[in-house]
Amino acid sequence: MPAVQRSEFALALNQVASERGVDVSVVLDTVKNAILAAYRKDHPGIELEEYTAELSPITGEAHIFHNGKDITPPGFGRIAAQTAKQVILQKIREKEKEAVLSDYRVKIGGIVNGMVLRFAGANIIIDIGKAEALLPASEQIPNEKYHLNQRLVFYLQDIRQGPKGEEIIVSRTDNGLISGLFQREVPEVAQGSVEIKAVVREPGNRSKVAVSSTQSGIDPVGSCVGQKGVRVQAIIQELGGLEKIDIVQWSEDIKQYIAQSLSPAKNLRVEIDEKEKVAHVFVPKDELSLAIGKEGQNVRLAYKLTKYRIEIEGNEEATEPKAEEVTEKTKEKTEEVVEEASEKNAKEAAAAEVVTELKAEEKLISEETKTPSEKTGQEKTE
């Protein structure tokens, strides 16, 4: 079978479809609609529903039919051709945008890399590759500074209808940004062996992430922190180094979960009122400031994480012994010291008595061993 030589029209048609990421049939339908629009411009007052256009995908030859009869004019003329060209370009742009939006609709709920392109009032236009996205002022981290050509990671939040059609909305404050960064930086999270149960944050200040393990032998907190904190530090750097991240162990035991959520405070005692959804937490005095946090931030995030209203109380028993216990312990210590001193004195007295007896025996032996002449000389001397 001889090879069919493709015309310039067919090559151009396939090139446009490939570059724009749309199907060839979509481009053909667009060209047909443009031909009918150009024909109506030359013949005003006609009803387009009664007319059809046929277009050869090989040669590009077009024909217009009315009630099955070919009524194609010899030429559309310069104005008709220009109209057809404008409609074709407009339709192709629309189809191209629809294809791009369809691609990004699948990615909603994930993270994308982007670059600050320009500022539009309080909003920022972000280049995310095939399209431009909008970063509204409400989705910007309050204490983060943005500048042109700055590369950041964004959370793909939604596609909304805007004044110029549909717009891609990205965010830097959504909790999903933290989850997405953990999925990217921690292989155990990406594989599903470590599960992120909940994320709460105050953007630009602090976040808390509750994690659990779906496989035995895997430490979920250690996996997320990484060796020497390298994994969590990489995530903090993606947030501009502004936001601290607390990774806590999720637990089905609500008492243990609440105690973990108040990390870095330790040695906590938790009492639960299930009916009122209130947790009374007793904290040692030296841990009180850690449990509450700066301006109540730590306990506020713990409330968002556990959904329990948390009331913190200082626990004096945990840090200072009772006065009775101190008195009793002091008394016991004094008695021990006195007893030790008595034993020591008794031992010293016994030792002195032994020394005296030894000296007496030594003197007696010395007297018995003297010669008669020595004894006479001693008596004369006396």
Structure tokens at 314: 């200082």
Structure tokens at 186: 């921690």
pLDDT classification of 244: cutoffs 50, 70, 90: very high
Q: Do domains 188-250 and 252-320 have the same CATH topology?
A: yes
For the question of whether the overall pTM of this predicted structure is more than 0.75, the answer is: no
Apex 182 CA angle, 176 and 188, nearest 5 = 130
- pLDDT at residue number 380: 45
Q: Which residue has the higher pLDDT, 325 or 359?
A: 359
* 305-321 pLDDT per residue, tens: 999 999 998 876 544 44
- pLDDT at residue number 73: 76
| pLDDT of 225 strictly over 70 | yes
* 91-124 pLDDT per residue, tens: 778 878 888 889 999 999 999 999 999 999 999 9
- What CATH class has 252-320? alpha beta
Structure tokens at 54: 């046929």
Per-residue pLDDT, averaged over 260-280, amounts to: 90
Find, among 112, 108, 206, the residue nearest to 158 by Cα.
108
Find, among 127, 102, 77, the residue nearest to 26 by Cα.
102
Per-residue pLDDT, averaged over 161-185, amounts to: 92
Kind plus residue range of the DSSP H or E element containing 342 = helix 323-368
Structure tokens at 159: 């596609």
- Range with lowest mean pLDDT among 65-79, 127-141, 265-279, 351-365: 351-365
Domain map (residue ranges) of the chain:
8-105, 111-171, 188-250, 252-320, 334-381
**What CATH code would you report for 8-105?**
3.30.1480.10
| pLDDT of 5 strictly over 50 | no
First to last CA, the chain: 158
Identify residue 220 by its one-letter amino acid code. Answer: P
- Name the β-bridge partners of 314: 283
Per-residue pLDDT, averaged over 260-284, amounts to: 90
- What CATH class has 188-250? alpha beta
- What CATH class has 111-171? mainly beta
